[in-house]
Amino acid sequence: MSIPCIKGKDLLIIHHRFPPEIRFEGLIIDLETTSTRPENGEIVNFGVVMGNLLVTISRRRTTPLQDFHLTLRCFLEEAQRRKYRTFAYNSSFESMWLMDKVKWDGNITDLMETPRKISDRIRDNMGEHKYPKLRELIYPRFFFVFGIKKWDIDASLVRRKWEEHLRTGKDAPIRWIAHHNLLDLISELEIMLWQDILERIYRNFDRAVRFMEFRCDVCGRKVPQKDLVSVTYLRPKSPGRGYQFVEKAVCRECMEGIAD
């Protein structure tokens, strides 16, 4: 490791290195916690992207809490020393936890800012539209083929996996947390690459709004967006040419007909 923050500590560490030609001169940070609020929860995992390193670090039940918090703070201070900007998706969440648990109050650039602005404009036009989760913006399509649950857990399961680790002492439950964190980091790095295009959509929202008509790809009816389900599946190409991904928006009524 090029950063000595993790040496000699009882931590579960999963890391990947980018090719030497790829260097991220900034810090992306992502936290996994057992609650939505720091006053009744704790940080059990964090991940960073910096330089050509992507690393996710999990506490074990035997890890002294001070060691874990100092490790987290070490990465943040190393980024400050390098004069790197720090990024996170929904940065107010990370900032709240970092201030409470490690007493760090540095500035974090919010990768959710532009998706949030677009969501607000959609809400102005349609009456309802929630802010997107990270997984709603970025998710590898292959996961739909091999099964999402085989690759990732929902953030709501972090507490349950942590409690399972506390009960059993096994690393398997916290490896699920670490893998979830790893996928978050990769998704956040990809969102950074989309920022310019997302900003263009926001600046040209009035031109883009004409595409906001939602129809079922099965029955053809115009329906509210909330009543559509996105279905991704494999369809054979012409004989001997393999398969292709197909994505369809299906209304609830058609989905019920398929289920029946």
What fold does the segment set 4-211 form as a domain?
Answer: Nucleotidyltransferase; domain 5 (3.30.420)
Query: Contact at 8 Å (CB) between 47 and 58?
Result: no
* HSE-up of residue 206 (Cα within 13 Å, Cβ side): 0
Through-space distance between the first and last CA atoms of the chain, rounded to whole angstroms: 54
Q: Return the number of other C-beta atoms located less than 10 Å from residue 248's C-beta.
A: 14
Is the whole-model pTM more than 0.85?
Answer: no
What mean pLDDT, rounded, does the chain reach? 88
Placement of tokens 């972090």 in the chain = 158
- 168's CB contacts (< 8 A; 6+ apart) are none
**What whole-number distance in Å separates Cα of residue 123 and Cα of residue 118?**
9
The string of pLDDT tens digits covering residues 106-138 is 999 999 999 999 989 888 876 677 788 887 788
Placement of tokens 């070490």 in the chain = 74
The string of pLDDT tens digits covering residues 232-245 is 777 887 777 777 77
Confidence band of 1 (pLDDT split at 50, 70, 90): very low
pLDDT higher at 22 or 211: 22
Mean pLDDT on 188-210: 90
Domain boundaries, the chain: 4-211, 225-259
